[in-house]
Structure 1
Amino acid sequence: METTLQQNISHQIIEEDAIVQSKTSSFIEANTLPVTLEHLKNDCIIPVFAKDNETTISHYQFINTVKNVIQDVLGYQGNLVPEIRVSHVIKGRIPSAIGKPAKDLLEEEKTIYYERMAFLFEIPEISEIVNGNPLNLCIGGVRAYNQENLFSKKSIEKFKLFIGFQNKVCTNLCIATDGLKEDLRVSSIEELANRTNILFESYDKKKHLELMRSMNDYYLTENQFAHLIGKMKLFPHLDKTIKNEIFTLKINDSQINSIVRDYHLDENFAKSADDKISLWNVYNLFTEANKSTYIDSNLERNVNAYEFINYLFKTLQNNQTDYFIYNNTIAFS
């Protein structure tokens, strides 16, 4: 970054005993449940590679490693409590409970771990106002064991890391392309920490904020928005050769329906009284709808939404017409 996170944090540290406020909604919903770091550490078994019984890097170790990087490398001294969401619980039992009916199992006879996990650390000391919305810096990651071959010998393990902002109006994540490492492969905790630091250093915070602010400069009329929605609905059914020539949109039909509903009803990002909607509001409708995406593909779709809105921005800025946008009634604020 042009100004490092360490420099920002060192000037804005809060008290260590700061109260952690509870959230009414999460950065991801879908089929997920909230858990604590202590639960992952004390109550969950650690999956192994079946052919050599070598341990994987656990969810707890992943989260704790990122936390240590934030504290040690970036010099952060605030109160770091991760928001953790999990899904796809894998249940088991201890050997002495073999043959026992499931309904009769005691709690100490059960074992669990979660196939998919996402977490987020919020850094409220680094906060920006973008288009009237407070955005706090956030850092997090995803681990999905379903993307590992646990039936083989120990191999390089896959993680996802991100750094970006969270819109405090709606808890939506705002992640730029350079803020996501979606295919991070490491073999040790030390390597994971090193690669985490590299991602932090490569993220261009200033550029990200400027691009998000510019989204508020252009808006769509209701006819343009309706045209956009119709084309998004048609996109999955296009011939492959046609798809290859236009922007690749990663969004499903139910999420498009959510965007249409919120275009009319969302408390913060609905259309204006004159039936126009800024690209900033459209972006937040996209990121809100993306909360229903499963953990293992959520971050990629979030970044795809960011890229798509910037694509629409450039199309309007250049007064162009393409598959998604027509400019017969181009509007500039």
Structure 2
Amino acid sequence: MELVTNQNPQSMIQDIVEPTTISKSPFIEANTEQVTLQHLKDDCIIPVFSKDNESTISHSQFIGKAFEAVQELFPQIEVRQPDIRVSHVVKGRIPSAIGKPAKELLESEKTIYYERCAFIIDLPGITRTINGNALNLSVGGVRSLNQENLYSKKSLEKFKVFIGFKNLVCTNLCISTDGFSNEIRIGSIDDLKEQMHTLFSSYNQEQHFEVMAGMESFRLTERQFAHFIGKLRMYHHMDKLEQKELFPIQLNDGQINSVVKNYYTCSNFGRNQDGSINFWKLYNLLTEANKSSYIDNNLERNVSAFELVKNLGDSLKNNEPNWFLHN
């Protein structure tokens, strides 16, 4: 492995940059579609807990409270409207349309809600640059009703929230453990807003940025990259006890294939002419591949990608053995 010393560290840290390309791609792909907040408010029913008919917290309430929390914590910064992606639509119909053929249903007779919802809210006034890529501070969250027991009485509801950066070149999310809460369980919408306030205000964006900027200092040769990819493929076929001794890998085989493909073809994060690749590019290959994950496990895999690359860099910096890098 090669540790490259940057002789001009200030070139890695800038407040504003004009990126070569601004991506129009979604922050998550998989089987999602883009919707508006107004659509969620006006056109979607709200699921209930079946045993007591108590309402769940709706997707629109969740997003609205996140927007309020961001405005309160960053009063002097522009806060953009949420970018919302949904999946796993659940269709229904009103009682008077029972027995009516589906092709004859009127729009007013149909009901709909989405089992899974993810959103991000950008703060374009807080921008950093790494390796020529502009990053915006962003917050967001995920709600997956498939993780709730809607057949029971009302109980604490689960939400996932993050604060981190979005790479404007590719819309890849850059999320650290420090900026991610995997399992917020709350009983009211006000409790949810309080939890988001706590996470957003405690997040250390400078520390997160410094770790990502430091990824430019490490790189793999083509041979070393091939070795790393081979170890990623081996991991999922190992005995569970052996896996427990290693850093957990959450990307699946198809996503690892995507990493390899983009190593050769990606204009922004592909290999250098000599076949080498620095850890910042490697990190973005991993987060780009993660965009094919379903909403309900996307954020966890994104955080895992950050921690994996950080783990590799720490091993090289401290001259410690790492199973993914060494024989």
Whether TM-score is above 0.5 comes out as yes
SS in 2 for 1:122: strand
- Aligned position for 1:292: 292
**How far does residue 78 in structure 1 lie from its aligned partner after superposition?**
2.8
Q: How does 1:78-93 map to 2 (within 5 A)?
A: 78-93=78-93
Structure 2 unaligned residues grouped into runs of 5+: 1-14, 16-21
| Local SS of the residue matching 1:271 | coil
Cα distance in structure 1, aligned partners of 2:228 and 2:79: 43
Conserved? CA contact 1:264–1:270, under 8 Å: yes
Please give the alpha-carbon distance, in whole angstroms, between the structure 2 residues aligned to 1:268 and 1:81: 27
How big is each residue's C-alpha offset from its partner over 1:268-318, in whole Å with a ceiling of 9 and x where there is no partner? 011101111000000000000000000000000000000000011012223
Once the two structures are TM-superposed, the CA of residue 47 in structure 1 deviates from its matched residue by 0.4
Equivalent residue number for residue 12 of structure 2: none
Deviation at 1:222, TM superposition (A): 0.7
- Matching residue's letter, 1:282: L
Note the 1:115-126 alignment, pairs <5 A.
Answer: 115-126=115-126
Aligned pair 1:167/2:161, yes or no? no
Any residues of structure 2 matched to 1:5-24 within 5 Å, and which? 24=24
Helix, strand or coil at the partner of 1:125: strand
Q: What secondary structure does 1:96 align onto? A: helix
| CA distance in 2: counterparts of 1:79 and 1:222, whole angstroms | 41
Task: Assess if the C-alpha contact under 8 Å between 1:315 and 1:325 holds in 2.
Answer: no
SS of residue in 1 equivalent to 2:291: helix
Equivalent residue number for residue 4 of structure 1: none
State the 1:320 CA deviation: 3.5
Letter in 2 for 1:72: E
Alignment check: 8 A CA contact 2:312 2:322 kept: no
CA RMSD of superposed structures (Å): 1.4
Following TM superposition, the consecutive aligned residue runs of length 4 or more in structure 1 with deviations greater than 2 angstroms are: 76-80, 318-322
Distance in 1 between residues matched to 2:280 and 2:84, nearest whole Å: 27
Asked whether the 8 Å contact 1:87–1:117 carries over to 2, the reply is yes
Match of 2:7 in 1: none
Q: Please show how residues 1-333 of structure 1 align to structure 2 within 5 Å.
A: 24-76=24-76, 78-326=78-326
- The 2-side partners of 1:76 and 1:264 are apart by 42
Deviation at 1:76, TM superposition (A): 4.8
Deviations 1:228-280 (A, max 9, x none): 00110010110111111111111100000000000011010111011110000
Kept in 2, the 8 Å contact 1:320–1:326? The answer is no
Q: Which amino acid aligns with 2:168?
A: K
Counterpart in 2 of 1:3?
A: none
Give the direction of change, closer, same or farther, for the CA distance of 1:76–1:296 in structure 2 (3 Å limit).
farther
Amino acid at match of 1:104: E
Q: Distance in 1 between matches of 2:76 and 2:86?
A: 26
**CA distance 1:314–1:77, change in 2 (3 Å):** closer
- Asked whether the equivalents of residues 118 and 142 of structure 2 are also in contact (C-alpha less than 8 Å), the reply is yes
CA contact (8 A) 2:126 2:136 kept: yes
**Residue 140 of structure 1 aligns to a residue in which SS?**
strand
| Alignment size in residue pairs | 307
Whether the aligned pair in 2 keeps the contact of 1:70 and 1:76 (CA below 8 Å) is: no
1:74 CA displacement: 3.1
Any idea what the Cα deviations from partners look like across 1:95-125, whole Å, max 9, x if unmatched?
0000001111111000000000000000000
Paired AA for residue 211 in structure 1: V
Greater displacement, 262-271 / 71-80: 71-80
TM-score by length of 2: 0.92
Distance 2:23 2:231 in 1: 35
Structure 1 residues 88 and 76 mapped into 2: Cα distance closer, same or farther (>3 Å)?
farther
CA–CA distance in structure 1, aligned partners of residues 23 and 73 of structure 2: 28
Q: In the aligned structure 1, how far is the partner of 2:37 from the partner of 2:23?
A: 17
Q: List gaps (5 residues or longer) in structure 1.
A: 1-11, 13-21, 328-333
Does structure 2 conserve the Cα–Cα contact (< 8 Å) formed by 1:49 and 1:55?
A: yes
Please tell me whether the aligned partners of residues 118 and 142 of structure 1 are also in contact (alpha carbons under 8 angstroms).
yes
1:79 and 1:198 mapped to 2: Cα distance? 19
Deviations 1:309-330 (Å, cap 9, x if unpaired)? 0011012223333321028xxx
SS of residue in 1 equivalent to 2:236? helix
Higher mean C-alpha displacement, 289-298 vs 235-244:
235-244
User: Structure 1: how far apart are the matches of 2:254 and 2:48?
Assistant: 36
Amino acid at match of 1:233: R
Percent identity (aligned): 56
Q: Deviations over 1:32-60 (max 9, x none)?
A: 00000000000000000000101010000
- Distance in 2 (CA, whole Å) between partners of 1:77 and 1:260 is 39
- For residues 168 and 258 of structure 1, the distance between their equivalents in structure 2, rounded to whole angstroms, comes to 20
Give the aligned residue type for 2:146: N
